[in-house]
Amino acid sequence: MNEMVNEYMESYKQDLNKVLDKLQDEFSMIRVGRANPKIVEKVMVEYYGSRVPLSQAANISVPEARMLLVSPWDSSLIKGIKSSIDEANLGVSCSDDGQKIRIIFPQLTEERRVQYSKDARKTLENYKITMRNARRDVLDILKEMKKDAEISEDEYNTLDKTVQKYLDEVTAKADQLCEKKVAEIMEV
């Protein structure tokens, strides 16, 4: 195989791995009844005239299983941070003592658990579509190379199987991530 083909194949593998990493990040933000700093890290807050993620304006810690403690770098930001968390509609309750904000995560109802599980599966399906699009893109390039006689029919067929095999492997990993997340969500 020539150098160009190797580059396309390597790029394809990297793209699929990036999609898998993004899926894992997405799953980490789905609530499961326990406190998880990732859920509030990306809440945008006003910080000296600009909107920044909460993680850049405060320290976020987990003192208890169902509580997050947000300690802003500047206590004058308390009210703004609290209102941003409320506006994010995360299904949590907030209280502050003038220095820190406590975010309490309520127990999830069965209905909410089922909804979060559906959301996780829908997210998985969206990421699978992205993976299939990456496969289509690399196969289009390889078909063009075959048409231009840069690679033979046999090489194309071998590469096609390799592309599909790698997609199947990454999809299986994505399915495992989803099932693990659903099990975590449904755990009482």
* Closest alpha carbon to 117 in 22, 183, 26: 183
Dist. CA 52–CA 43, nearest whole Å: 8
CATH 1.10.132.20 fits 3-29+109-186, yes or no: yes
Residues in CB range of 85: below 8 A, 6 or more apart: 40, 43, 54, 70, 92, 94, 101, 103
Instruction: Report the CATH architecture of 38-104.
Output: 2-Layer Sandwich (3.30)
Percent of the chain's residues with pLDDT above 70: 97
Domain segments of the chain as ranges: 3-29+109-186, 38-104
Residue 31's pLDDT is what? 67
Dist. CA 102–CA 64, nearest whole Å: 10
In this prediction, residues 57-64 reach a mean pLDDT of 88
Angstrom distances, CA of residue 143 to CA of 109, 153, 160:
51, 9, 9
List the strands of the sheet with 67-72, edge to edge: 58-64, 67-72, 101-104, 93-96
pLDDT at residue 1 greater than cutoff 60: no
Tell me: the pLDDT tens digits for 76-121? 888 888 888 888 877 788 888 888 999 888 887 888 889 889 999 9
Q: How far apart are the first and last CA of the chain?
A: 53
Tell me: the pLDDT tens digits for 124-183? 999 999 999 999 999 999 999 999 988 899 999 999 999 999 999 999 999 999 999 999
